[in-house]
Amino acid sequence: MPNDMSPTPGLTVSVGSYSAAGRKRVNQDFHGAMLPEGRSLRLKGIVLAVADGISTSSVSREAAETCVKALLTDYYCTTDSWTAKTAASRVMTATNSWLHAQSRRAHLESIDLGWVCTLSAMILKHRTAHLFHVGDSRISRLSGESLEPLTREHHLTLSTGETCLSRAMGAAADLEIDYHTVDLEIGDTFLLTTDGIHDHVPARAIAAALRGAPDLDAAAQAIAEEATALGSPDNLTIQIVRIDGLPENALDVPSVEGGHLIPPPLPETGAEIDGYKILRSIHASHRSHIFLAAAPDGSRVALKIPSMDMREDPAYLRRFLMEEWVARRLANPHIVAAVPAPEEKSALYTVSEFVEGRTLRQWMADNPNPDLDLVRDIVRQITQGLRAFHRQEMLHQDLRPENVMIDGDGTVKIIDLGSTYIAGVDEAEPEQRDILGTLQYAAPEYFNGDPVTWSADLFSLGVITYEMLTGRLPYGTAVSKVRSRRDLGRLAYRSACDEKNNVPDWMDDALRRAVHPHPEQRQQALSEFDLELRQPGTGWRARKRRPFAERDPVRFWKIVSLILAVLVVLLLVQNAGAL
């Protein structure tokens, strides 16, 4: 591959490579690189990969080619919301399964004869290199006058003193991938090599060939020829990438579609925007205005426009644009859906389905003492919507009664996606992790700086469920005052069981776990919380099965004392009769 400079401002690289059979008859190595432009470069990054087929297999060249081509193509077909780790690992795992199945179908019991190879890959995204590695190919970084290995070989030493691969693509049904990240700096130079190169050419010689090399292809060929001269009997593959430019850490403008547009003036009833006729105003806040509008096809939609106060805030406008982007990637009956937008918008606005019904806040006001089964049904539907977010590596981050709608058929929908955290986008274009949700429903980890995971949405759902059942919040407003892990100890949970409701103690136990200040103490899945609202959880049952003396020692010893007293009286009576 010739040296290539990515034309898009931001992340730019130069790439050079060389591959040859060397002293072998067939070249069983395979390598490749994908340097996309525009949106794919920003959200997915640059991919480079090297695979090395095992010499004992006649089909290992096919395995190496399959691994590299699958990663270079299928990775870009994964959703943009996934992180590089999730997307690449899914592709590699699927490819491994295919290779392993090919060997089993051909009845090749020995991995030495099957569809087996090594694979080392890099994904360069924003200012980070994501490294994936299986086998004994290698990724290295030029460091001063030597090379710094960034991966370790997966070798197993036999009793005979020989070595073999302990891990390889296609070798087993399950795949274990080494993964880690490296921060990028302009001028960094990385190498992906097969063992025909790095087992024979000294690191200092490779470093000398790379320093200041104007032609990376020529440098790659020179290193491979040096390996042959030094007696390498293997195939020779080397890929070099040099970091020429990096994007800025901070983003000043939105980078999603529509970032060049400006919000329109707030429309009057009867006005039209790109064919959408405004029928009436639905909602207005300091952040946005929502209007009921008639689409060109006659259907009713919700049209959202940034408020006047937020039009000069680039971070808000970026999230505003992302709201429609998120909706288009979440096809779920319990999440508000995006609708087809005009091919060319004249202004900055979003369009979504119009949900005719009432908010969960209004439902709570109408049902101060709700039936438990109704509460469970609402929670189940919210859970299904949240799971769709989490499968895409998204967090809603602003789950509250005002952002949950219930239509006339009882279908629950999560709305207002403007605070959604998208792991893949944040990885590509990091921004400060502000508290975007409503304080009363936000998990403590937003306030004390601990890592925020999907469990934060579970906390919000737990608070909402608790409020539906009791009309109050489990910690009042104390959560928003948390600033450190020490503060978590001051949060005192108030039981949901009282004389005003019919919440059973095992259901209260489920609520207590869901809103626990420490994320690791909450349920391990949303489905677990949903199930524990319907039947006693295993933890609650285990505690109830404790010996009576442990559960209520005071009462236990009172009973024991009473029994002993009775026995003493009986003995005295018996002795008196004998006298």
Chosen CATH of 12-245 out of 3.60.40.10, 3.30.1370.60, 1.10.3720.10, 3.40.640.10: 3.60.40.10
pLDDT of residue 406: 97
CATH topology assigned to domain 272-353: Phosphorylase Kinase; domain 1 (3.30.200)
Q: Residue 216: phi, psi to the nearest 5? A: -70, -30
* C-alpha radius of gyration, the chain, whole number: 31
**What's the confidence (pLDDT) of residue 59?**
93
- CA dist 553 and 383 (Å) reads 40
Reduce the DSSP state of residue 205 to 3 states and report it. helix
pLDDT at res. 434: 58
Query: Domain ranges in the chain?
Result: 12-245, 272-353, 358-541, 551-579
- Three state DSSP letters for 443-459: CCHHHHCCCCCCHHHHH
Per-residue pLDDT of the chain (579 residues; tens, 9 = 90+): 434 434 445 899 999 999 999 999 999 999 999 999 988 998 999 999 999 999 889 999 999 999 999 999 999 999 999 999 999 999 999 999 999 999 988 877 777 889 999 999 999 999 999 999 999 999 999 987 788 999 999 988 776 767 788 999 999 999 999 999 999 999 999 999 999 999 999 999 999 999 888 999 999 999 999 999 999 999 999 999 999 999 875 443 344 555 578 999 999 999 999 999 999 999 998 889 999 999 999 999 999 999 998 888 888 888 888 888 899 999 899 999 999 878 788 999 999 999 999 999 999 999 999 999 999 999 999 999 999 999 999 999 999 999 999 999 999 999 999 899 999 988 887 765 555 657 889 999 998 888 999 999 999 999 999 999 999 999 988 888 888 888 888 888 999 998 778 899 999 999 999 999 999 999 999 999 999 999 987 777 676 666 666 767 778 788 888 888 888 888 877 777 666
Where do the DSSP E strands lie in 389-537? 394-395, 404-407, 412-414, 421-422
- At 352 the three-state DSSP class reads strand
358-541: CATH architecture: Orthogonal Bundle (1.10)
Please check whether residue 536 is in contact with residue 506, taking contact to mean a CB–CB distance below 8 angstroms: yes
| Per-residue model confidence (pLDDT) at position 253 | 38
Q: What tokens does 47 get?
A: 């991919």
Residue 533 CA, chain-centre distance (Å), reads: 26
